[in-house]
Amino acid sequence: MNSTPLDRDGAGAGEVSVAVQDLVKRFGAFTAVDHVTFSTRKGEVFGFLGPNGSGKSTTIRILCGLLRPTSGRAVVAGFDVASDPESVRRRIGYMSQKFSLYNDLTVLENLRFYGGLYGVTGARLSQRINWALRMAGLHGREDSRTATLSGGWKQRLALGCAVLHRPPIVFLDEPTSGVDPLSRRQFWELIQQMAEEGVTVFVSTHYMDEAEYCNRLALLMRGRLIALGAPSELKLGAVQGDLMLLETDSLQRAIEAVRKLPQVRDAAVFGNALHLVVAGAADANQPIRAALAAARAHVLRLEVIRPSLEDAFVALTASAAAAEPIR
Amino acid sequence: MFGRIWQFVIKEFIQVWRDPRARFSLIVPPIIQVIIFGYAANFDVHNVPTAILDLDHSMESRELIARFAASGYFRVDDVLASRARIGQLIDRGRVALAIQILPGFAEDMRKRDDASVQVILDGTDSNTALIALGYVNQIAQQYQQDYRRDYLNRIAPLAARSAPQVMLEQRPWYNNNLEDRLFFVPGTLGSVMMVMVMTLTAFAIVREREIGTLEQIMVTPIRPLEFIVGKTIPYLIIALFELAVISVVGVLWFEVPMRGSALILVAGSLLFICGVLGVGLLISTVSNTQQQAMVVSFFFIQPAITLSGFGFPISSMPAALQWLTYLDPLRYYLVVLRGTFLKGIGMDRLWPQFAGMAAFAVVTLAVAAARFRKTLE
């Protein structure tokens, strides 16, 4: 508990841009953030994954100085968010789920307004506005009312407004909610570009495919950090044993049959197949086939697969729910 | 610092200008209000529907009734034959007043006894009843005086000429004809300014909270004071524009005189607007939605207008309420408005009002600034 965040989660070498230690946020009797500790490196895409109400937004708002922590410490860009929020605000960009733009202003007016608030002026402002227009693909639509833009454009414009002042750290709170898949992909390319330029991108999501793009992921549940690591680490660490894919002509009879086997630790339906967690694939193969034959379920496919992030997420949340307190 | 405030001023003006409803509501409703108050707000009574029950049928009773009908204050709709009708007519609201002359009225007059006339009033509208009663009194007195003078002229012409009388000479200052609109038009200006500035300011901030831009602004390096100044300057300018529009309508259309200095009027208005801006800001700190802001502002607006002296004289209020009026910025502003428009008095007389408004503005703006933090809690 008293160790520094660096020791604990192994953010490793490189400049630390966000360091959070034992962060707690209570609203009355409700604990929204429960003793969370982690840190991020410069240039890292750091993902916050978790169901609605898990404390993602609350944590991000604390890091932006919008909410005061109940206890614990959060240092962003070298400044404590509780004692010096103004120094933090000059060094961060923040984009909320709502894409906080003025719908009755034009694209250009929105950019000028936010640029002015961040103190970006003169030649630098026009250069940054140019950059933002290019980034958002809005050249030629400068004078359109923001209300007339579709979701993907609004989202990129909101990002442009949030980073006009070139902040070293950017917080994106579910930036892709309500945006079509193509725009989501384009948006993630922008995130990767920013990270390559050395910007730390802090992003919350509940899309598994987006989580794969992150360098590291923090998995939150009910305000607690239940896992932290690169997506590959989480996938390997979450599933104890091997993961097998079973395709059969009768899911119902198959799942009943394999669940009775001592070799099968867990069985879950994934699409039109089953995912089975077994201690060792070699030992489990024959008993599974025998049990399925007895249950008159034909095996179309049975093989060892690599766990997906979704498998890891399901396994981690299940074990966290079963074994409170996880810490 | 000025750069950030300037950004806000530009943005607010663009938003107000682009919104057709906002543009409309800044110009049309204030003018309509002034016109309505200029014409409709009238304490005086004319043509009160009146019923007459003359049971005397004498020359004297007919003479008295003729005087009522000719006064212009009463409209004799019904000449009745029985007492029972009076109750029906007043219950139905057909008449507000019934004058009943009992048998023997003329005879009593001739015998120089006291002759009585009964007046029945609908007291639900106490103000109209009171004023109408005053006119009834006036007409009856005049009739009695004329009757006595005729009588004296007949029996003792010399004595009649030397009988002393108190003559009342009325000289109402500032409003020679005692026209109510001269009282109400400046008052309406004050109340319209208060309602507009307060709701516009409160709504402008709460709307940003609703659409989420307030959260975005809070993560920028803007200081709370810059935000407050940038957000309120546009509405201060708009309020001065309102002042000009309503003043022009008042002076040109309703012939309200402008006897004082326009400079004092603008200075007093600025102080008043600042105080009301402070209230609007305070409302925005306690409201999460525009609906809440609406409800909260009504809690302030209603008592503020009632206690301001807009319609009811402060001097007739109970002592506790009179003290409460000192917390009402509109109270001071109305004195400044009526003082400059009608009386033409200067700062030597108006400074206490300026002090009152300045104190109110300092307190509300300071509390609003202290309450406005850049956090969501």
The per-residue pLDDT for A10 is 44
Cβ contacts (< 8 Å) between A65 and chain B: which residues? 218-219, 374-375
Share of chain B above pLDDT 90, in %: 41
Contact B216/A100, CB-based, under 8 Å? Answer: yes
H or E segment to which residue A89 belongs: helix A85-89
* Interface predicted TM-score (ipTM): 0.81
The per-residue pLDDT for B306 is 93
Parallel, antiparallel, or unpaired for β B48-54 and B74-80?
A: parallel
Quickly state the pLDDT bin for A107 (edges 50, 70, 90): very high
Structure tokens given for A53: 């109400």
Interface list for A 35-94 with B (CB within 8 A): 61, 64-68, 85-86, 89-90, 92, 94
Report the pLDDT averaged over residues A136-153: 90
B284-326: pLDDT as tens digits: 988 989 999 999 999 999 999 999 988 888 999 999 999 999 9
The per-residue pLDDT for B163 is 66
CB-based contact B255:B229 (threshold 8 Å): no
Query: Looking at the partner chain, which of A68, A95, A98 has a beta carbon nearest the beta carbon of B375?
Result: A68
Contact A96/B216, CB-based, under 8 Å? Answer: yes
Interface list for A 119-138 with B (CB within 8 A): 119, 121
> Distance, in angstroms, between B15 CA and closest chain A CA?
6
Higher pLDDT, B144 or A318: B144
- Give the span between the Cα atoms of B154 and B8, in whole angstroms: 85
Structure tokens given for A267: 């069985």
Structure tokens given for B33: 């209000």
Cβ contacts (< 8 Å) between B17 and chain A: which residues? none
Contact A117/B4, CB-based, under 8 Å? Answer: yes
* Nearest residue of A to residue B16, measured between CA atoms: A104
Every domain of chain A with CATH number 3.30.70.100 lies at 240-306
Contact A118/B3, CB-based, under 8 Å? Answer: no
- Give the span between the Cα atoms of A147 and A134, in whole angstroms: 19
* Nearest residue of B to residue A100, measured between CA atoms: B213
Report the pLDDT averaged over residues B98-125: 87
* Interchain CB contact of A103 with B (< 8 Å): yes
Most A-contacting residue of B216, B217, B229, B372 (CB-CB within 10 A), to test interface:
B216
Cβ contacts (< 8 Å) between B4 and chain A: which residues? 116-117, 119
> Distance, in angstroms, between A113 CA and closest chain B CA?
6
Q: What share of chain B is helix, strand, coil (3-state, %, to 5)?
A: 70, 5, 25
Q: How many contiguous H segments (helices) and E segments (strands) does chain A have? A: 12, 14
Report the pLDDT averaged over residues B231-257: 91
Quickly state the pLDDT bin for A12 (edges 50, 70, 90): very low
Contact A114/B220, CB-based, under 8 Å? Answer: yes
Report the pLDDT averaged over residues B105-123: 86
Quickly state the pLDDT bin for A144 (edges 50, 70, 90): very high
Quickly state the pLDDT bin for A2 (edges 50, 70, 90): very low
- DSSP bridge partners of B118: B100
Q: Quickly list DSSP for A199-220.
A: -EEEEEE--HHHHTT-SEEEEE
B186-211: pLDDT as tens digits: 999 999 999 999 988 998 889 998 98
**Mean pLDDT over all residues of chain A?**
87
Contact A104/B219, CB-based, under 8 Å? Answer: no
Q: Does the pLDDT at position A184 exceed 50?
A: yes
Quickly state the pLDDT bin for A124 (edges 50, 70, 90): very high
Contact B11/A102, CB-based, under 8 Å? Answer: yes
Report the pLDDT averaged over residues B66-83: 86
Say which CATH topology domain A240-306 has. Answer: Alpha-Beta Plaits (3.30.70)
Contact B216/A119, CB-based, under 8 Å? Answer: no
Report the pLDDT averaged over residues B121-141: 89
Q: Does the pLDDT at position A13 exceed 70?
A: no
Quickly state the pLDDT bin for B338 (edges 50, 70, 90): very high
Q: Looking at this protein, which amino acid is placed at residue A178?
A: G
Query: Looking at the partner chain, which of A89, A103, A105 has a beta carbon nearest the beta carbon of B219?
Result: A89
CA B71 vs CA B65, B146, B201, B209: distances in Å: 10, 16, 50, 61
> Distance, in angstroms, between B208 CA and closest chain A CA?
9
Domains and CATH numbers, chain B: 2-41+177-371 (no CATH), 48-162 (3.40.1710.10)
Answer left, alpha or beta for residue A277, where phi above 0 means left and psi between -120 and 50 means alpha. beta
Cβ burial, residue B328 (10 Å; 0-12/13-18/19+): buried
The per-residue pLDDT for A99 is 77
Every domain of chain A with CATH number 3.40.50.300 lies at 5-230
H or E segment to which residue A135 belongs: helix A122-136
Query: Looking at the partner chain, which of B6, B10, B19 has a beta carbon nearest the beta carbon of A104?
Result: B19
Report the pLDDT averaged over residues B21-35: 85
CB atoms within 10 A of CB B163: 10
The per-residue pLDDT for B147 is 87
DSSP A266: E
* Nearest residue of A to residue B224, measured between CA atoms: A86
Q: Which residues of B touch A (CB under 8 A)?
A: 3-4, 6-7, 10-11, 14-15, 18-19, 211-213, 215-222, 374-377
Q: Does the pLDDT at position A326 exceed 60?
A: no
Terminal alpha carbon distance of chain A: 10
Q: Does the pLDDT at position A3 exceed 50?
A: no
A·B CB contacts under 8 A: 77
CA B297 vs CA B203, B243, B311: distances in Å: 10, 21, 20
Parallel, antiparallel, or unpaired for β B97-101 and B48-54?
A: parallel
Cβ contacts (< 8 Å) between B213 and chain A: which residues? 100-102
Contact A117/B219, CB-based, under 8 Å? Answer: no
Q: Does the pLDDT at position B44 exceed 80?
A: no
The per-residue pLDDT for B376 is 67
Cβ contacts (< 8 Å) between A162 and chain B: which residues? 216
> Distance, in angstroms, between B225 CA and closest chain A CA?
13
Q: Does the pLDDT at position A263 exceed 50?
A: yes
Cβ contacts (< 8 Å) between B7 and chain A: which residues? 112-113, 116-117
* Nearest residue of A to residue B15, measured between CA atoms: A104
φ/ψ of A106, rounded to 5, equals: -80, 170
Q: Is A78 helix (H, G, I), strand (E, B) or coil?
A: coil
A282-323: pLDDT as tens digits: 888 888 888 888 888 888 888 888 888 888 887 888 777 776
- DSSP bridge partners of A76: A18, A79
CB-based contact B310:B330 (threshold 8 Å): yes
Higher pLDDT, A38 or A297: A38
Most B-contacting residue of A68, A70, A107, A117 (CB-CB within 10 A), to test interface:
A117
A201-210, A294-303, B29-38, B148-157: range with lowest mean pLDDT: B148-157
Side-chain half-sphere CA neighbours of B330 within 13 A: 26
Query: Looking at the partner chain, which of B6, B19, B376 has a beta carbon nearest the beta carbon of A61?
Result: B376
Q: Does the pLDDT at position B83 exceed 90?
A: no
- Give the span between the Cα atoms of A272 and A252, in whole angstroms: 11
* Nearest residue of B to residue A82, measured between CA atoms: B375
Most A-contacting residue of B10, B15, B220 (CB-CB within 10 A), to test interface:
B220
Cβ contacts (< 8 Å) between B215 and chain A: which residues? 66, 96, 98, 100
* Nearest residue of A to residue B10, measured between CA atoms: A113
Share of chain B above pLDDT 70, in %: 98
> Is the CATH number of domain A5-230 3.40.50.300?
yes
Contact B375/A65, CB-based, under 8 Å? Answer: yes
Most B-contacting residue of A88, A91, A97, A100 (CB-CB within 10 A), to test interface:
A100
A56-86: pLDDT as tens digits: 999 999 999 999 999 999 999 999 999 999 9
Q: Is A169 helix (H, G, I), strand (E, B) or coil?
A: strand
The per-residue pLDDT for A1 is 37
DSSP A280: -
A224-245: pLDDT as tens digits: 998 899 988 888 777 778 888 8
